[in-house]
Structures are given as structure tokens and as C-alpha cells.
Amino acid sequence: MSTRSYSSPTRERAAADTRAGILATALRLFEEAGYAGTSMAEIAAAAGVSVNTIYSSVGNKTQVLLALLSDASDDERIDASLDGARSERSPAESIAIVSAGTRAVFESHSWALGALYDNGASRPEFARAIEQAEARYRGRLDSVATHLDQTGGLLPGVGVERAGDILWFYFGFRPWRELHQSGWSWDDAQEWLARQATAALVGAAG
């Protein structure tokens, strides 16, 4: 007699909730004690699960951190803000939407992104994850550059490729991190980056 696999929606939701709880707990502990200073046993105890459950749901500690990066790079607010930017006819407003949306994401995930950059030079798996995340995000910004070009909003001599470079320069992962580490508030960083990108892409008038 043949057997068939059975997938229970309730079971899948429970598994997703368990995974989300583990990641949220790990992030809190990492923020409090650091990545190196947090053990899998501590994550399991704080999350109310066994260590084996963490392994089966997410993986080892490295994979937990990589999962936090994945959540950051796949945050739905990124696509929502870029969709808003691509539907806006005012070039300056498109850029302001990108600045606000990316700020929300980087503010929410600043620890995970920072930890990965800090460890990227010594951990090849982190470096690869960062490279892949940056490539996906840069591709999204390139679509905004195309939109700005199609609306005729770019300064003379600033084509799509250069516009994509400028958007990445101001709204990539690193600018937000550098400003935040330098003591800038998220509000100040958002306003300044939007203003500088607008001047570089469409001129002071926007």
C-alpha cells in the first residue's frame, strides 16, 4: 500500500511560530551579551525549547545569525517602500520614500547587520551571505533608478547605471551603519541621506 505525505497547516504554523520565537529570543540575547557570549543552551532556555529543537528548526548558532540576516534582507518593508517609490511621479518624493523605507528596515535589524559585517572578514559564510543580500538589495535599488530615468527626473549625464550606483552609495547597508555608529539619530540620517541623494540624482530642486 502506497503512503502519501501529509502536511498540516496547523503544524506548519506552529513550526513557523517556533522558529520565529527562537530567532526573536536569539536576537535579544545576542544584543545583550554578544554573539560569542551567547550559547545555544541559553537561547534554548530563554525560548522555552530544547537545543535539538533549535537545530531542527533553524540550525546551529552560525545558521541562527544567518537566518537573522535573511529576515533583514527579505523584510517586506523593503519591497513596500520600493513599490511606493516606483509609483511616485515626483523624483524627490521617490527618493524620500526609499530613505524612509530603508531606514525602517535598518533600524529594526541594525544589530544583526552590524554583527555580520563585523564577522564577515573572518567568517567566509557570513561574507557570502552579506554579498548575496547586498546583491538582492542593489537589484531593487536599480529598479528605482530605472523609474527615475523613465520619469525624466535624472540630472543630465546621470543615466540608469550611475543612478543605481548613487542610490546604493546613499541607501546601501553601510551608509546607515556608519552614520548610526557615528552617533547620528535615525531621523537625522534619514533626512541627510535623502537630501544628499536628491541633490546628486535630480538636483537641489528635486
Q: Supply the DSSP symbol for 157.
A: T
Cα(115)–Cα(106) distance, integer angstroms: 13
**Helix-, strand-, coil-residue percentages of the chain, each rounded to 5:** 75, 0, 25
pTM above 0.85, yes or no: no
Domain co-membership, 49 together with 101: no
**Considering the domain boundaries, does residue 186 fall inside one?**
yes
In 3D space, the residue among 199, 193, 203, 150 whose CA is nearest the CA of residue 173 turns out to be 193
More confident residue, 34 or 44: 44
Same domain? 194 vs 94: yes
The answer to the question of residue 2 being in a domain is no
Per-residue pLDDT reduced to its tens digit, 169-191: 999 888 998 898 899 999 999 99
In a domain, 189, yes or no: yes
Q: Same domain for 88 and 153? A: yes
Give me the helices (H) in 6-109, please: 9-33, 40-47, 51-57, 61-73, 76-87, 91-108
1 confidence band (pLDDT: 50, 70, 90): very low
Q: How confident is the model at residue 121 (pLDDT cuts 50, 70, 90)?
A: low
Q: Is 185 a domain residue?
A: yes
Co-location of 52 and 110 in the same domain: no
Structural domain count, the chain: 2
Grid look-up 538636483 returns 203
How does residue 136 score in pLDDT terms, banded at 50, 70 and 90?
Answer: confident
CATH number at residue 38: 1.10.10.60
Residue 160 lies in a domain: yes
Residue 42 belongs to a domain? yes
Q: How far apart are the C-alpha atoms of 126 and 145, rounded to whole Å? A: 28
Give yes or no: residues 16 and 81 share one domain.
no
Do 153 and 188 fall within a single domain?
A: yes
| Mean pLDDT of the 122-140 span | 83
- Please check whether residue 98 lies inside any domain of the structure: yes
pLDDT band at 156 (very low <50, low <70, confident <90, very high): very high
What's the pLDDT score for residue 31? 84
Q: Answer yes or no: do 175 and 75 share one domain.
A: yes
Q: Which domain holds residue 42?
A: 10-59
Is 45 in the same domain as 98? no
Mean pLDDT, rounded, for 77-87: 84
Question: What residues have CB less than 8 Å from 117, skipping those under 6 apart?
Answer: 130, 173, 174, 177
Residue 193 has pLDDT above 50, yes or no: yes
Query: Within a domain: residue 50?
Result: yes
Pairwise pLDDT comparison (195 vs 14), residue with the higher score? 195
For the stretch 46-68, pLDDT in tens is: 999 999 999 999 999 989 988 88
Task: Specify whether 75 is located in the same domain as 24.
Answer: no
Average pLDDT of the residues in 73-92 = 84
